[in-house]
């Protein structure tokens, strides 16, 4: 009887310890939280019903924190705290990581990034370096800072917000796509060795995202004159690419909220064994698949060229079809009987 009682007590005690361990929230640090996906991710995780996460939402300029504070509401300074972090600065990264209790971090989300579009001839080398400094070296700087502690603990999760443009290049996005291709190759290489330490890497690849920033950027670029660029290239950019890009954003674009929650970012973070690669927009998958259907690359290159420059009307017919099948009013509503 005493033996049975002792075993029952031990099982009960271990169960309580296990429940307590599960109840301890995981610390999640997210870069680039002043707006967009970063802001939405931070708020979604902080509002988790199970309070499974403590979110450290970071941004380069704390003067832009008002929008995040308003969205965070009563989670602010409870399950969400805001800190300054510039991913392009070794000192800023070290200061932020050193401020963590015992320098312990469960999940790193590399979200900070910048975009760049336009004819290649108009983009300076310094502008290109700036893109890589944030999108590529900024992510690597963060990963290097957290890896030693994660390896020591034999546990960790690194999430990188990449892009479908890290899989398939898009005209007039040459430098931005190159920065995303670079981070994809880096993560594919690193993911293999980190499994030895029980550390997972997850690439999250959104397609077009509808934000005020994106729309404003396109409007400003459309007004540019591009001196020194040949007339054909300017025509292709302004009269073909920009209208087509606007159509794609209208048809296939996701909201930051959709990418953060429905688009699986939060789900990826919550999984015990997270996937390596997740595309958030299923409408974009067939376009990416073209690249892998033909190892010569001719299929995807020619398909994009023909749709954009030769059979433009077919392109708009395809996007109109996508509008129809994805429209809520088109879907059949099913109600319980």
DSSP lists the bridge partners of residue 80 as 55, 76
- As a whole number of Å, the end-to-end CA separation of the chain is 54
Please give the structure tokens belonging to residue 83. Answer: 């800190």
Contact 186, 140 (CB under 8 A): yes
Average pLDDT over residues 293-297: 86
Query: What's the burial of 50, exposed, middle or buried (CB within 10 Å: 0-12/13-18/19+)?
Result: exposed
> Strand 53-59 relative to strand 107-110: parallel, antiparallel, unpaired?
unpaired
Please give the structure tokens belonging to residue 128. Answer: 């290109």
Q: What is the pLDDT of residue 13?
A: 47
Query: What are residue 124's phi and psi, to 5 degrees?
Result: -75, 160
Q: Give the pTM.
A: 0.85
The neighbour count for residue 48, using CB atoms within 10 Å, is 16
232 band by pLDDT with thresholds 50, 70 and 90: very high
- pLDDT value at 300 more than 80: yes
Q: How far is CA 72 from CA 33, 44, 237, in A?
A: 11, 9, 39
Q: Answer with the residue of higher pLDDT: 239 or 312.
A: 239
Measured at the CA of 225, the angle between CA 220 and CA 226, to 5 degrees, comes to: 105
Q: What is the DSSP letter of 240?
A: I
Known catalytic membership, residue 284: no
DSSP lists the bridge partners of residue 202 as 159
Annotated binding site: 32-60, 86, 163, 180
> How far apart, in whole angstroms, are the C-alpha atoms of residue 186 and residue 149?
20
- pLDDT value at 70 more than 90: yes
Average pLDDT over residues 23-33: 91
Long-range contacts of 308-315 (CB under 8 A, 24+ apart): 308/171, 308/240, 308/241, 308/244, 309/236, 309/240, 312/240, 312/244, 315/244, 315/247
The neighbour count for residue 253, using CB atoms within 10 Å, is 19
Please give the structure tokens belonging to residue 140. Answer: 């690597």
Q: What is the DSSP letter of 196?
A: G
Please give the structure tokens belonging to residue 317. Answer: 């017919």
Annotated binding site for substrate: 163
Please give the structure tokens belonging to residue 69. Answer: 């504070």
Query: What are residue 25's phi and psi, to 5 degrees?
Result: -70, 145
List of E strands, the chain:
26-30, 53-59, 80-84, 107-110, 156-161, 199-205, 277-279
74 band by pLDDT with thresholds 50, 70 and 90: very high
- pLDDT value at 20 more than 70: no
What tens digit of pLDDT does each residue of 109-130 get? 999 999 999 999 999 999 999 9
Within 13 A of 130's CA, how many CA atoms are on the CB side? Answer: 8
Contact 204, 268 (CB under 8 A): yes
Q: What is the pLDDT of residue 330?
A: 47
User: What stretches of 24-137 show up as alpha helix (H) in DSSP?
Assistant: 36-46, 66-72, 90-98, 125-132
Q: Answer with the residue of higher pLDDT: 106 or 306.
A: 106
Please give the structure tokens belonging to residue 104. Answer: 């312990």
Annotated binding site for NADP(+): 32-60, 86, 180
Q: Answer with the residue of higher pLDDT: 158 or 259.
A: 158
Q: What is the DSSP letter of 311?
A: -
Q: What is the pLDDT of residue 1?
A: 52
Measured at the CA of 110, the angle between CA 106 and CA 113, to 5 degrees, comes to: 165
Query: What are residue 114's phi and psi, to 5 degrees?
Result: -130, 155
What tens digit of pLDDT does each residue of 128-165 get? 999 999 999 999 999 999 999 999 999 999 999 999 99
Q: What is the pLDDT of residue 244?
A: 87
Catalytic choice (176, 241, 284, 304) = 176
């Amino acid at each position: 009887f005493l033996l049975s009682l002792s075993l029952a007590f031990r099982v009960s005690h271990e169960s309580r310890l296990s429940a307590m361990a599960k109840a301890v929230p995981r610390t999640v640090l997210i870069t680039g939280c002043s707006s967009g996906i970063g802001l939405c991710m931070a708020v979604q995780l902080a509002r988790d019903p199970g309070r499974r996460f403590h979110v450290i939402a970071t941004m380069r300029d704390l003067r832009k924190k008002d929008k995040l504070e308003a969205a965070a509401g009563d989670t602010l300074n409870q399950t969400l705290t805001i800190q300054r972090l510039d991913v392009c600065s070794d000192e800023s990264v070290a200061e932020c990581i050193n401020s963590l209790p015992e320098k312990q971090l469960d999940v790193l989300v590399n979200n900070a990034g910048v975009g760049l579009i336009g004819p290649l001839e108009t983009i300076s080398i310094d502008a290109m370096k700036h893109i890589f400094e944030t999108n590529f070296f900024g992510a690597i700087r963060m990963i290097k800072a957290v890896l030693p502690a994660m390896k020591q603990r034999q546990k960790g999760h690194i999430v990188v917000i990449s892009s479908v443009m890290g899989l398939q290049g898009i005209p007039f996005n040459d430098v931005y796509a190159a920065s995303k291709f670079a981070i994809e190759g880096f993560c594919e290489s690193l993911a293999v060795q980190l499994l030895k330490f029980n550390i997972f890497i997850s690439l999250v690849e959104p397609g077009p995202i509808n934000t005020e920033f994106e729309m404003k950027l396109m409007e400003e670029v459309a007004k540019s004159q591009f001196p020194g660029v040949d007339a054909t290239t300017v025509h292709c950019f302004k009269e073909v690419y920009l209208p087509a890009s606007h159509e794609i954003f209208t048809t296939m674009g996701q909201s930051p909220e959709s990418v953060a929650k429905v688009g699986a970012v939060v789900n990826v973070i919550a999984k015990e064994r997270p996937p390596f690669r997740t595309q958030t927009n299923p409408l974009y998958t067939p376009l990416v698949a073209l690249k892998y259907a033909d190892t010569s690359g001719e299929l995807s290159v020619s398909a994009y060229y023909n749709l954009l420059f030769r059979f433009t009307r077919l392109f708009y017919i395809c996007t109109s079809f996508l509008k129809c099948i994805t429209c809520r009013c088109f879907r059949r509503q099913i109600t319980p009987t």
